[in-house]
Amino acid sequence: MWKKTFHTVSLILLLLIASPFMVTGESTVEVMALSGTTGLSLVKLLEEQPTIYPGVTFNYTVLKSPDQISAKIISGEADIAAVPTNLASILYNRGIPLQLAAITNWGVMYVVGSASTISSWQDLKGQEIGVTGKGSTPDLLFRYFLTANGIDPEEDVTIRYYASPAELTQLVIADKVRLATLPEPWVTEALSRNLSLTVLLDYQQTWQQLEQRSDSYPQSALVVKTQLAKENPAVVKAFLQAASDSNAWVVTQPSAAGLLAEKYLSISAPAATAAIPRCNLRLDEAYQVQAEIDYFLEKLYSFQPQSIGGKLPDEEFYLQK
């Protein structure tokens, strides 16, 4: 009798070790991505929904706004999410149990327009420029680049704010706004529909030159619910590998990826295909590039502390190897 009981207990323990989700009662992982370039690196997973880890189903949801995806993370509905890096810091500093697992793109911002006389940041002096999201990361970086080049954002230029990149893009296409800061894929959308437009300035190159960094700024990230990371690290590791493979596929197969971007992310296929080379897609696990993330968040904090949640996140913010 004792041997039979011991055998039964041993079998249960073996199953629990082999199937970590039995410990938590979970058999699904909810993956949520923000529409647009933030979710672009995951489109292969959205389409194929492969088996990433035995016995675990990964469900995918695409959300249209930062507010929507924030609500899902705060409520605990999202186990893994693709979000802007500074939003990850804001949520962490609010006490939301998450960890930064990886960076998925390294900047997608550009200044576009039809002004052929503009070839440097100094040339923006005296100009009127359209910008989206007052106080957002693109806005803060824009103001920083101006200041670093001797231009006072309050006195030397006129900044007009718009609600969304989509709205600003339409005005640029119609020649109602002469200069604008836009992210991909809206840059490509604008250039393809108004042939007088061109890319005038590159945020990413400017960042590297000013800061003397080997990489651009880490704009988008994957975050993981802390409980999932601690209780099921093998599942998280498997997902990060799958996400990395998807990211690499998008870079090497832009035409096919463009079709999926149109299907899942509300980006037109031609625009997505043409934009991918300028999206700086590369997945790096957070522990590998922590110095770059720290530097970026410190810079944002120096501009506007609330842009990262009022303080620099501590070491627990980063998912370690």
pLDDT confidence of residue 321: 81
Task: Read off the pLDDT of each residue in 291-297 and give the average, rounded to a whole number.
Answer: 97
What single-letter amino acid sits at 256?
A: A
Cα gap 233→287, rounded to integer Å: 14
Query: Does residue 6 have a pLDDT over 60?
Result: no
pLDDT confidence of residue 65: 87
* Least confident window among 26-35, 215-224, 253-262: 26-35
- What is the layout of strands, in order, in the sheet containing 57-63? 57-63, 28-34, 80-84, 220-225, 98-105, 281-285
What is the helix, strand, coil percentage profile of the chain, to 5? Answer: 50, 20, 30
Pull the structure tokens for residue 36: 């647009």
Contact 138, 181 (CB under 8 A): yes
41 CA to centre of own chain: 9
Q: Widest CA span of the chain, in angstroms? A: 89
DSSP tally for the chain: helices H, then strands E = 14, 11
Cα gap 52→72, rounded to integer Å: 22
pLDDT confidence of residue 16: 38
pTM, to two decimals: 0.87
pLDDT confidence of residue 25: 52
Binning pLDDT at 50, 70 and 90, where does residue 13 land?
A: very low
The rounded percent of the chain whose pLDDT value lies above 70 is: 92
pLDDT confidence of residue 177: 96
pLDDT tens digits, one per residue of 151-187: 999 999 999 999 888 899 999 999 999 999 999 999 9
Q: Is 196 helix (H, G, I), strand (E, B) or coil?
A: coil
pLDDT confidence of residue 135: 84
pLDDT confidence of residue 166: 87
What's 318's DSSP letter? Answer: B
H/E run at residue 21: helix 21-24
Which are the contacts of 209, defined by CB distance < 8 A and separation ≥ 6? none
pLDDT confidence of residue 243: 98
Strands 179-183 and 109-113: antiparallel
Query: Does residue 17 have a pLDDT over 60?
Result: no
pLDDT confidence of residue 14: 37
pLDDT tens digits, one per residue of 58-87: 999 999 888 999 999 999 999 999 999 999
pLDDT confidence of residue 255: 97
Task: Read off the pLDDT of each residue in 292-319 and give the average, rounded to a whole number.
Answer: 96
11 CA to centre of own chain: 43
Contact 97, 225 (CB under 8 A): yes
Query: Does residue 35 have a pLDDT over 90?
Result: no
Domains of the chain listed by start with CATH number:
2-107+217-317 (3.40.190.10), 109-211 (3.40.190.10)
C-alpha gyration radius of the chain: 22
- Cis bond before residue 50 (omega within 30° of 0): no
Contact 150, 123 (CB under 8 A): no
Query: Does residue 5 have a pLDDT over 70?
Result: no
Binning pLDDT at 50, 70 and 90, where does residue 267 land?
A: confident
What single-letter amino acid sits at 67?
A: D
pLDDT confidence of residue 26: 53
Cα gap 51→57, rounded to integer Å: 7
The rounded mean pLDDT for the chain is 91
Pick the more confident residue, 31 or 163: 31
The rounded percent of the chain whose pLDDT value lies above 90 is: 82
Binning pLDDT at 50, 70 and 90, where does residue 12 land?
A: very low
245 CA to centre of own chain: 17
Nearest to 113 by CA among 200, 204, 182, 183: 200
Number of neighbouring beta carbons within 10 Å of residue 212? 7
